[in-house]
Amino acid sequence: MKLWREVATVARLDFAEVLRSRWLVFSLVVHAVLATMFVLVGLRESGVVGFTGMGRALMSWSHALLFLLPLLALSATAQVVNQARDDGSLELLLANPISRTGYFLGTSLVRAIALCAPLLVTMPLAALVGAAAFGQDVPWDFLLRGIGVSTALLLCFTAFGLCISVLVRNQQKALVLTILAWVAGIALIDFALVGVMLQWELPPSAVFALAVLNPVQCARLALLSAAQPELSTFGPVGFFLANKVGSTGLLLLGLGWPLLLGLTAWTWSLGSFRRRDLV
DSSP 45-86: HHHHH-S--HHHHHHHHHHHHHHHHHHHHHHHHTTHHHHHHH
Tell me how far apart the alpha carbons of residues 250 and 133 are, in angstroms, rounded to a whole number. Answer: 33
Lowest-confidence pick of 174-178, 210-214, 230-234: 230-234
| Dihedral of the alpha carbons of 178, 182, 183, 185, in degrees to the nearest 10 | 140
Lowest-confidence pick of 15-19, 160-164, 240-244: 240-244
C-alpha Rg value of the chain to the nearest Å = 21
pLDDT band at 43 (very low <50, low <70, confident <90, very high): low
Q: Choose the most confident range, by mean pLDDT, from 16-25, 42-51, 171-180.
A: 171-180
**Helical packing angle, 246-275 and 140-167, nearest 10°:** 20
The predicted structure's pLDDT at residue 50:
42
266 has pLDDT over 90: yes
259 has pLDDT over 90: yes
Over residues 145-164, the mean pLDDT reads 93
**CA-wise closest residue to 123 among 145, 90, 155:** 145
pLDDT band at 165 (very low <50, low <70, confident <90, very high): very high
What 8-state DSSP symbol labels residue 88? S
Mean pLDDT of the residues in the chain = 80
The residues, ordered by sequence, that sit 6+ positions from 214 with a Cβ below 8 Å of its Cβ are 185, 189
Buried b (16+ CB within 10 A) or exposed e, 188-204: ebeeebeeeeeeeeeeb
pLDDT band at 85 (very low <50, low <70, confident <90, very high): confident
Entry pTM:
0.87
Tell me how far apart the alpha carbons of residues 114 and 85 are, in angstroms, rounded to a whole number. Answer: 22
The predicted structure's pLDDT at residue 170:
85
